[in-house]
């Protein structure tokens, strides 16, 4: 009798309508071909449901059933390089995501820090690289070690509320909070920049462009003069901002 296959990685791709963008599908095929050529044994599985948390939980169950070392979840609107999976595994982090950016302006990174119980958006500096520790990271391209999944009580992914309970908390952020509560650190890999596709593909350059525009607007607002204010002198190295009348 042949020995059952033990997979190194289970890849799960959730989809609400059984569709996948062609460019994402091409990226997946290229990545799996490259990864398998490097000796990784991969099981790729797909699911279709309006409930994305249910799909992600199904991938966790499949990972544990496969006795895989890793679960990689990829959203069907993410584009990525062929070396992405091998690169993240070599990072040897228990929970690590590639860096992608929100489709809505100003295109912040899909990760947050928790400050005083609230999610704070993260700003990236030009040229910033390497692993960045965060509180939560989006599951658009998320690699999780199986040991994390075994430490968390199901459901691993579930929707929640934050703040005063009026805002929805995504299923991926809930998972990260559970992982952190179990003692695991969460990282985003700034050396793995991804594209987030829609009418156009959003990437790092879009984020930095809108960040620069925000800075220019903020600077211009400081210089606005009203008749009863006189001239506003911004804060500088020799003193604080003040009004000259």
Q: What is the pLDDT of residues 205-242, one digit of tens each?
A: 999 988 888 888 877 766 554 444 444 444 444 444 44
- Interval 124-161: pLDDT, tens: 998 999 999 999 999 999 999 999 999 999 999 999 86
Contact indicator for 48, 16 with CB cutoff of 8 Å: yes
Alpha-carbon span 141 to 74, nearest angstrom: 5
The yes-or-no verdict on residue 11 having pLDDT over 80 is: yes
Report pLDDT for 89: 98
Report pLDDT for 164: 58
Q: Give the mean model confidence (pLDDT) for residues 86-111.
A: 96
Alpha-carbon span 193 to 19, nearest angstrom: 23
Alpha-carbon span 109 to 75, nearest angstrom: 15
Name the nearest CA neighbour of 4 among 67, 76, 93, 53. Answer: 67
% of the chain with per-residue pLDDT over 90: 68
Per-chain mean pLDDT for the chain: 87
pLDDT higher at 236 or 173:
173
DSSP code for 23: H
Contact indicator for 41, 5 with CB cutoff of 8 Å: yes
Report pLDDT for 223: 59
3-state helix, strand, coil in the chain (%, to 5): 30, 30, 40
Report pLDDT for 215: 82
- Interval 61-76: pLDDT, tens: 999 999 999 999 999 9
Q: Is the pTM of this model over 0.75?
A: yes
Tell the CATH topology of 9-202: Spore Coat Polysaccharide Biosynthesis Protein SpsA; Chain A (3.90.550)
The yes-or-no verdict on residue 166 having pLDDT over 60 is: no
pLDDT category of residue 4 using cuts at 50, 70 and 90: low
Residue given tokens 């990260």 in the structure block? 176
In the chain, where are the structural domains located?
9-202
The yes-or-no verdict on residue 243 having pLDDT over 70 is: no
Report pLDDT for 240: 47
Name the nearest CA neighbour of 24 among 188, 165, 216, 201. Answer: 201
Report pLDDT for 233: 46
Alpha-carbon span 156 to 20, nearest angstrom: 24
Alpha-carbon span 197 to 24, nearest angstrom: 9
Q: How far from 29 is each of 42, 67, 179, 189, 201, CA to CA, in Å? A: 12, 23, 30, 22, 19
DSSP code for 103: S
């Amino acid at each position: 009798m042949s020995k059952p296959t033990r997979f190194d990685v289970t890849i799960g791709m959730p989809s609400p309508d059984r569709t996948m963008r062609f460019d994402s599908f091409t990226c997946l095929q290229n990545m799996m071909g490259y990864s398998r050529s490097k000796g990784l044994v991969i099981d790729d599985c797909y699911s279709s449901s309006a409930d994305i948390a249910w799909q992600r939980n199904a991938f966790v169950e499949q990972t544990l059933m496969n006795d895989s070392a890793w679960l990689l979840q990829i959203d069907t609107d993410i584009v990525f390089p062929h070396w992405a999976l091998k690169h993240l595994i070599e990072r040897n982090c228990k929970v690590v995501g590639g860096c992608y950016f929100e489709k809505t302006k100003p295109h912040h990174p899909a990760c947050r820090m928790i400050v005083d119980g609230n999610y704070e958006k993260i700003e990236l500096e030009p040229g910033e690289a390497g692993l960045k520790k965060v509180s939560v990271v989006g599951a658009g391209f998320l690699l999780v070690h199986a040991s994390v999944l075994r430490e968390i009580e199901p459901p691993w992914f579930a929707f929640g509320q934050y703040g005063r309970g009026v805002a929805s908390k995504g299923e991926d952020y809930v998972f990260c909070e559970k992982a952190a509560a179990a003692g695991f650190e969460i990282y985003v890999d700034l050396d793995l920049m991804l594209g987030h596709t829609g009418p156009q593909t959003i990437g790092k350059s879009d984020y930095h462009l809108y960040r620069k525009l925000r800075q220019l607007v903020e600077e211009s607002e400081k210089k606005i003069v009203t008749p009863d204010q006189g001239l506003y002198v911004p804060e500088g190295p020799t003193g604080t901002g003040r009004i000259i009348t």
